[in-house]
A and B are shown apart, each in its own frame.
Chain A
């Protein structure tokens, strides 16, 4: 064995497949007798369906069947469930209005599914879908979350008065109010966290197939968590036993959260495949993706920070309206509560915090977790407040943070979480050094000499990852466990296949996990394959989101590896005629301490499968172990980002001159992959702050329904990032890892907006900071 694999920049095993077009994405799956589906979708944001006429459509070439909500009701198919129950301030459960797979009498957003058309070809299905005539009675719509609870607002659901899903709160209100009463200074901000459209490069695809032979279904679907998809679909919607349904999500081209959820199309193609007795495939086009993939963010928040005269934080008060869209998506309810308000302590020892969240329904696409999910919104609140407070108190923004950093661990925050470890001064120091903050005044002067404005902003973020201790999640309303499963199958000649319940849709698990396994077993990485994304192969899984894969999924694999190594030790002890307690496993070999006796791992594996000389009285043959791991706590990645911008006051164009990110992700398995995750996260965070903003008109039509109007950041919009890490190892998992997938998207918006507001000399401005918005902000400032 050479150098240790953990911590090595191993090139990604999966890239050969992806870069040479050999990936197997869901749309690549073409089954015998394949048929194709298209959906009839509502063109209105809010309307009553008076009549659906299918005469012309059914006569259209190639049509096999058309189903509407009536057919689904007759078949007793349930609605789409929400996986997290929030209990409101009065102890009542949140309002969960029905979320039918196909509309039942009413549509509630543009894109809502009305009918599924199944035909011989995709073109024929789309042609026929255009011929389905739906007579709508158009109703007034409400789009803006902050207007949804108004008395005269149109009502979406009978079971949700005032369009309110819940009013929820966390923290000690009385103690927080008392802290504000004695504050020397209060900083207040009115913040919008803009709605985003995820836009994974691969749109959603679902291909349902029914087998008469054994009365079973297979669903090929672009999903981040096939087992969860199966559980929700079988138990809650279709009333099927799980052993009759297989869900396969092999290669998936990005998710960012949007592929966590059970969608109506997945159910519809699965159900229809039995009706037409043929596989039914639906492939979303980009226009459908804009309309129907769950959106992200969309908060309106009023936030206040109370301080003493020296800038020590005394309390924080936050009131948020979260727009959840027309229906509750799978995890919509926990994003603006559990994943948001619990992070409002940030990196600071703010002693009291109170947060109230009102979740509202509107005539817009459902909103759910999107890269960061609640934590970017929390970081935006905390870090915009802290930076603004520093400016108002005339304290250096880094200093005000240092004055308030948590430095002793474990630390119990006033909003439920217990941080196990961190070193926030270390990441701040490193970021200031790497970002050459000392040289900033000279750079600012140089910009001003060119007629440009320059600004610098920080964000010192924290996130809770490694989701989640099931008991904690359950107490908070989760309707599922949040453990992970792994299986290590050692083959007779010593190579290894590892099955993980985590799911890779771009993260590089096939490499990172293989590094862990090969390192532990002392074998070349080529001898390890990682298998994911198939409920018929993987024993169970909760999937990949919330930067949980290495911390939870990786730990499950480590636990299974421990069992493999322990069993191997028993076998080796037998083979070497030694006491088990004297056998040591190291660098791929079992040895007996103090002797030259040695059995390689492969020899032990062979003995397990060819058990001629074997302790049959004590052990079963074979070497195959699995483990379920339920984490003891969340993990708490944290870091400091420093952003420097130059603004052209004539045009309003913002150029990011420097972006420095120093993260503490705990121990790192593959620095190259981690850097890639950080770069991607930063780019999406910059997208939110600079270019991306979902917009509807007042009638609920999506104005940003294509890349002509919705601006994803391009390479030329972002700088060369300067990234580094500092390490405090997680205290409660064996790898000491915390997770890195979302950090960039969590910290970047606040850092960038702090830099832009600094350059402009304004307290606040809305995201995205498009040229027009920046120009207008400057114009308004001059006029004021």
Chain B
């Protein structure tokens, strides 16, 4: 009997310890999500044009969480997957007015405003996704010096990463735009940023 009581006390104690370990682990995991979104760098000044002719500058990044990509419309490899994934996120966060999307063309010669509008109709289902163009020099500079993404041999040599930018124009993280696991992670990180306010 007393032997059993001893075992019972050990069992209860073990469950208690497991509870504490569980609580600690859950807390650490939650904290790590926030810590894992470091401030990487602030986006420098730039000026591009949306397909509707309106100017889009760094000021348009203020007070919005932004998911950015570099694409071109004739691209047959990564761009359709990246854009489909961005469209998916746009749909899932349709209720939020704190999130926007930008796609910057790396082939401004071909991607006229009309071509970009057509491309937009294919992937975007809300007016919070801007398809931007500018001179190729501006785009290369913005990609390399603003986003720290390689931009050699454009239009083909653009990065396939999606960039998460917070409400203060800071780059927080990069995601491989064609990998499902990265998109899930991006989605979770957007939720974390929205919850942070």
- Do A and B come together as binding partners? no
Point out residues on B near A: beta carbons under 8 Å. none
